[in-house]
Amino acid sequence: MENNMHLFQGTAFSSKSPKETQILKDHLFLVNDNGMIEQIVAPQDTNYQTLLDAYQGKNNFHPLAGGQYFVPGFIDLHVHAPQWAQSGTALDIPLYDWLNTYTFPLESKFSDLRFAEKVYGDVVSTLIANGTTTALYFATVHKEASLLLAEICAKKGQRGLVGKVVMDDPEQNPAYYRDLDTRTALLDTEEFIVAVQALAQSTKQGVYPVVTPRFIPSCTDEALKGLGELAAKYDTYVQSHCSESDWAHGYVRDRFQKNDAFALHDFGLLRDKSVMAHCNFLDDHDADLFAETGTAVAHCPVSNAYFANSVIPIAHFHNKGVEIGLGSDISGGFSPSLFDNIRQAVISSRMLEDGVNPSLPAHERGVPDSRITIDEAFYLATAGGGESLSLPIGRIQANYAWDVQVIDTNVPSSKLPIYDANEDLHDIFQKIMYLSRPENIREVWIQGEKVHSR
Ligand code: GUN
Ligand code: FE
């Protein structure tokens, strides 16, 4: 039995609560055959030495070198996998124009499975190399290419939650890029769900189908209703864009005389397994509805700085009991790294609190109580994402999956400024959060399997 177990040794950081990061100094982490953390043992525990003696020198013993630390793998709650092909471009135009002139033409090319394979292979590998162990993906309207993305996640060992995008309204979507009709959109979605659930059986880490109306403007009422029914029938995840921009938010108010949150709820699309991206214009009633239904927010701080012209009041929604995680929103956000999004989440929140109009007196410039700390942003990228998905991931804790990044602070090309062997570990944690680059991510493990090393 013990032969199938792995023992890791080193110092780990993990969120205890949104505001508090737990430091597990020189602990042992026993990981079972299913890739779950079976036991965490502190140096002062009585079985520490016995356990160490049993594994030392064997190839299932993995001690960290000096200057290396365990950090939970990141959970990216909002990524458009096809848009990796245009990351870093066209960020200076408004959302509506960006969708129509750049994004829909690009996504339409994923009818070509060879092109899809190239981009999807690259984006999954890139996210893993950036420490993302779980990703909630939008694919495109194409059923086959969407299934290919799930297969690539399965093969590369990433926990992928994948949605075939639904855009069925012929009035709202271009003829070259939309579902054939509403019936086909729903049939394709159902076949996609069944295929991904079957594929999941052959994976250790799990892959999951996600019901994915792109956003209300792209879908007919009939499609939204049918998707709500499919989500209930197959108990799937649901994702969409919610109250993202002035334009999208205003469109939904004109069509339904209510905000996105209540409109989505009417169609059965707010469930415990729902994750809504952006949510910049959520009001307090919407937030209460999210908290009641268990719907989570995918906070996309880099993207929001470009397309939303807004900063979402994370701290306020958190206080109202809404689950929140972080999303890169590739390519609305240019970066595949949740480290970058952690940093931007902190910076944006400070600008919201402090305000940016120097002609106003300091106390009138911003929104009080908006700041989040680096610990809170780390929580969003890890434990908050796990809670949003109701999966035992995002924490280094017993009965959680061994999804970790090994951060090396001593990499020559990106050496973190640590000069005191006894430096406070919370200070080191902060340096890791602010200064790590992909080259500092030495190894990535998902469900107890090493999926990346450098
Ligand atoms: N709203 C509808 N589609 C999209 C998309 O692809 N990206 C973003 N950021 N917002 C959207
Ligand atoms: Fe998006």
Whose atoms come closest to the Cα of 277: which ligand? 2
Amino acid at 4: N
DSSP state at residue 445 = E
Mutation probe of ligand 1 site: the residue of 214, 218, 260, 309 with most atoms within 8 A of C-beta: 214
CA of 241 to the centre of ligand 1 (A): 7
Contact of 26 with 54, CB cutoff 8 Å: no
| Nearest ligand by distance to the CA of 78 | 2
Closest by CA to 297, choosing from 243, 225, 368, is: 243
Closest CA relative to residue 342, chosen from 311, 297, 372, 307: 372
Task: Please name the residue whose Cα sits nearest to atom 8 of ligand 1.
Answer: 332
Residue of 76, 169, 215, 243 best suited for mutating to test ligand 1, as the one with most atoms within 8 Å of CB? 215
Question: pLDDT tens digits for 311-362?
Answer: 888 889 999 999 999 999 999 999 999 999 999 999 999 998 888 788 888 8
> What are the start and end residues of each CATH 3.20.20.140 domain in the chain?
74-389
Return the pLDDT at 132: 99
Distance from the CA of 279 to the center of ligand 2, in angstroms? 11
Look at residue 118 in the predicted model and tell me its pLDDT.
98
Residue of 446 and 309 predicted with greater confidence: 446
Of ligand 1's listed atoms, the one at least distance from the Cα of 83 is 6
More confident residue, 63 or 370: 63
Instruction: Indicate the pTM of the whole model.
Output: 0.97
98: CA distance to ligand 1 center in Å?
Answer: 9
CATH class (in words) of the domain with range 74-389: alpha beta
Higher pLDDT, 3 or 108: 108
In ligand 1, the atom with minimum distance to the C-alpha of 307 is 9
1 — pLDDT class (breaks 50, 70, 90)? very low
Q: Whose CA is nearest to atom 3 of ligand 1?
A: 214
Q: Mutate which of 78, 91, 97, 103 to test ligand 1's pocket (most atoms within 8 Å of Cβ)? A: 103
Ligand number with the minimum distance to the CA of 249: 1
Residues with Cβ within 8 Å of residue 113, at least 6 apart in sequence: 144, 145, 148
DSSP 69-119: EEEEPEEEEEEEGGGGGGTTSSTTS-HHHHIIIIIHHHHHGGGSHHHHHHH
Q: Could you report the per-residue pLDDT of 51-96, keeping only the tens digit for each?
A: 999 999 999 999 999 999 999 999 999 999 999 999 999 999 999 9
Ligand 1 neighbours, Cβ below 6 Å, are 80, 95, 99, 103, 214-215, 241, 244, 303, 307, 329, 332
User: To the nearest whole number, what is the mean pLDDT of the chain?
Assistant: 96
Q: Supply the ipTM of this predicted assembly.
A: 0.98
* Ranges 132-136, 160-164, 295-299, 357-361: which has the least confidence: 357-361
The rounded Å distance from CA 79 to ligand 2 centre is 7
Buried b (16+ CB within 10 A) or exposed e, 399-423: ebbbbbbbbbbebeeeebeeeeeee
Under CATH, domain 6-72+395-453 is a member of which superfamily?
A: Urease, subunit C, domain 1 (2.30.40.10)
C-beta of residue 68 within 8 angstroms of C-beta of residue 408: yes
Ligand positioned closest to the Cα atom of 302: 1
CA–centroid distance, residue 244 to ligand 2 (Å): 9
For ligand 1, mutation pick of 173, 216, 244 (most atoms within 8 Å of CB):
244
Distance 194 CA to ligand 2 centre (A): 25
Give the residue range(s) of CATH 2.30.40.10 domains in the chain. Answer: 6-72+395-453
- Which atom of ligand 1 is nearest the CA belonging to 215? 2
How far apart CA 15 and CA 38 sit, in angstroms, is 18
Residue pLDDT, tens place only, 219-268: 999 999 999 999 999 999 999 999 998 899 999 999 999 999 999 999 99
pLDDT single digits (tens) 419-449: 998 999 999 999 999 999 999 999 999 999 9
Distance 416 CA to ligand 2 centre (A): 33
